Structure 1
Amino acid sequence: MKITANHISIEVEDSGGETRPVVLLIMGLGMQLIDWPDEMVSLLVAAGFRVIRYDNRDAGLSQRFDHIRQGSLFWQKIRFCLGLPVRAVYSIQDMTDDALGVLDALNIPHAHIIGASMGGMIAQRFAATYPERSTSLVSIMSSSGASYLPRPQPEIIAALLSKPDGMSEDELIAHQLKIMAIVVSPAELLDLDRDKWLRHLRMALRRGGYHPNGSLRQILAIMTDSCRADLLVQIRCPTLVVHGEDDPLMPIACGEDTARRIAGSEFLPIPKMGHSFPPQFMQAMHEKIIPFLHGIGGVHRIEK
């Protein structure tokens, strides 16, 4: 369904029932609400939660910002490397305000905030800037954004910024499969159900289309989010930081740094998990994440 949140049009999926405690799921760069695994949503609903998913601005069926002129990513990257201000159409804080607008539009006073990758960055800002609306925070395969943290290898960045060989549906899907093969764990790649991923990628492409300019604007928003690391000390809600040990896009040091910066946070490393949701993550949903949401701890605590 379409709602108006933060003065823009946002596509929302609402599952579970209005009387339940709410989990707000915030997806990552260029991804859609349907990219949250169905199994994860079903587990949360079965555990007694109302699950709210939405498409970020410039993704899926939510409002796009093609009407606003944007600078060259190449030149903005140069400015970023030189420590100069990066010009973005909108900020991660704007996207955080979108999340707040979703809760406001649905008359939800507070929620468990769960974000993955860029969605984890948005979720971190949400918990820091709207503590009264944050029941808890779960940051998955994300980063504090601290400048000293390890970055992806150049070949991974090159693949993410590469263009497909053509614009046919099959060529676009092949391009997405190539990117996916780079960011998942090598262990997951061996067991990858190619047909399942092909079906999902085809569905996602037909739903949201191919929209690289939206992803570029989101990348610029991430690049301008330079002060979030210092903001994390303001987070006071119960926090669980989840990260794959084999993540090539966001090395595990990024998750460890996030956990260290948030007082009382807990850190959950997941073996054989890359920048994806493998079976090991679903096992963690059963054993750790849902119990955490229910108020049960029991995961490794990072030394502060």
Structure 2
Amino acid sequence: MSIASHHEQFAELSNGTTLCYSEHGDKNDPAVILIAGLGLQMVYWPASFIQALTTAGFRVICYDNRDAGRSSRSNTPHPSTLQQLLGKAPKECYGLEHMADDTALLLTRLDIGQAHVVGMSMGGMIAQTLSYRHPEKVASLTSIFSTTGNRRVGQPAASTLWRLARAKSPNTHLEAIDNYCEMMNHIGDKNAPHALLHWQQYAKLAWQRNGSRSDTRALQRQIGAIMRSGDRTQALAKIKAPALIIHGDVDHMVHPSGGEATARAIGHARHIVIEGMRHQIDSALSHRLAQHILDHIQTGASDAA
């Protein structure tokens, strides 16, 4: 499993946010935009996954969310540890709505009227929010191992929460690699081809792209965005775009009940549970996931016709 090569560019949005992004494939092809999860960067998406989509005739856009990678940092407050435990975000923090607006503005900046939107984990939440907040921008929605914001579903396993609670901010790239590999060894699939090597490569590159620092407050602000937006179940019912919900049955980060609840809330969504899939997109899964997405896009286009 290899890290994709990106030609990094920057888009200054009208709301003052600057996003780092890259494009793959022919600019004349229909667009697919990939939205990464909590604290993750656009370099997370495997090269094989991106290639499967471009080979099928799609223009793929990857980008760093605000407060991640090489995109701009917010100056809004971050939730304290106590606020995170209580689930109460500071009033001044941004929400998933603002991150969805970032995505819509990026599409406008790139002169893309409508895109097929794919998000994983927190990125799935952003993709869902984009779909009901800016429906004109969304040709189809794919939400991968994500949830609705209802705290009764999609919660991490107790073993995951324990690891998150004891995690310490890294001071060096070696500590960052160790931290990431330790967590992925728990929530990911260590038996996937070259999994450990890929984790190490990603963590090292992410550290470098993050300015060789941990930037814990940026991560906490993203957590605050999830907390502020809360339960989006009722809003999800407004989604009209063709929707595909994908989840694994062995997910220790976002319990499979999160995917089930998302599909129920949207109503017309197709729900696929992949046996043995954990909270990881790897080379072994890339072509399978891409094929599900391509079938979904084709089915949605056929239904629209």
Query: What is the TM-score when the length of structure 2 is the normalising length?
Result: 0.88
Distance 2:266 2:95 in 1: 22
Superposed displacement of residue 191, structure 1: 4.1
Q: Call closer, same or farther: CA 1:68–1:150 in 2, change over 3 Å.
A: closer
Could you say which residue in structure 2 is the equivalent of 1:128?
132
- What is the aligned partner in structure 2 of residue 27 from structure 1? 36
What residue in structure 1 maps to residue 102 of structure 2? Answer: 98
Contact residue 244 and residue 273 of structure 1 kept, 8 A: yes
CA distance in structure 1 between the partners assigned to 2:168 and 2:30 by the alignment: 42
User: Pick from 60, 70, 78: which aligns with 1:61?
Assistant: 70
Tell whether the 8 Å contact from 2:93 to 2:221 is kept in structure 1 after alignment: yes
Task: Report the Cα distance in structure 2 between the residues aligned to 1:71 and 1:64, rounded to whole angstroms.
Answer: 15
Does residue 43 of structure 1 match 2:52? yes
- Residue 124 and residue 150 in structure 1: after superposition, are their counterparts in 2 closer, same or farther (change >3 A)? closer
TM-score normalized with structure 1 length: 0.89
Identify the residue that residue 191 of structure 2 maps to in structure 1.
190
- 1:207 aligned residue: 209
Unaligned runs of 5+ in 2: 1-8
**Partner amino acid for 2:260?**
E
Q: Which deviations, in whole Å up to 9, do the C-alpha atoms of 1:17-51 show, x marking residues without a partner?
A: 22110001110000000101111111110000000
For residue 12 of structure 2, what is the amino acid of its counterpart?
T
Pick which of 109-118 and 149-158 moved more: 149-158
Q: Give the match for residue 3 of structure 2.
A: none
Please state whether the residue corresponding to 1:261 is helix, strand or coil.
helix
Displacement of 1:295 after TM fit? 2.5
Aligned mates of 1:14, 1:150 — CA distance in 2: 32
Q: 1:211 to 1:93 in 2, by over 3 A?
A: same
Shift of 1:166: 5.1
Q: Pick one of 78, 84, 94 that aligns with 1:77.
A: 84
Superposed displacement of residue 161, structure 1? 4.2
**What residue number does 1:302 align with?**
none
Q: Distance in 1 between matches of 2:274 and 2:287?
A: 10
CA distance 1:11–1:255, change in 2 (3 Å): same
- Deviating beyond 6 angstroms after TM superposition, the runs of 4 or more aligned structure 1 residues are none
- Residue 152 of structure 1 and its aligned partner are, at CA, apart by 1.4
Give the distance between the partners of 2:132 and 2:249, measured in 1 at CA: 26
Deviates more, 1:167-176 or 1:286-295: 286-295
Unaligned regions of 5+ residues in structure 1, if any?
298-304
My pick for the range that moved more, 270-279 or 32-41, is: 270-279
d(CA) in 2 for partners of 1:165, 1:15: 33
Number of aligned residue pairs: 289
Cross-structure match for 1:117: 121
In the alignment, structure 1 residue 11 sits paired with structure 2 residue 20 = yes
Q: Give the aligned residue type for 2:113.
A: P
Letter in 1 for 2:223: I
CA distance in 2, matches of 1:163, 1:111: 37
CA contact (8 A) 1:243 1:268 kept: yes
- The aligned counterpart of 2:144 is 140
Instruction: Measure the CA separation in 2 of the matches of 1:163 and 1:142.
Output: 22
Q: Does 1:170 align with 2:174?
A: yes
**1:272 CA drift (Å):** 1.2
Question: By how many angstroms is 1:79 displaced?
Answer: 3.5
Q: Which residue of 1 aligns with 2:6?
A: none
* Contact 2:48–2:283 (CA under 8 A) maintained in structure 1: no
Once the two structures are TM-superposed, the CA of residue 162 in structure 1 deviates from its matched residue by 3.5
What's the % identity of the aligned pairs?
Answer: 30
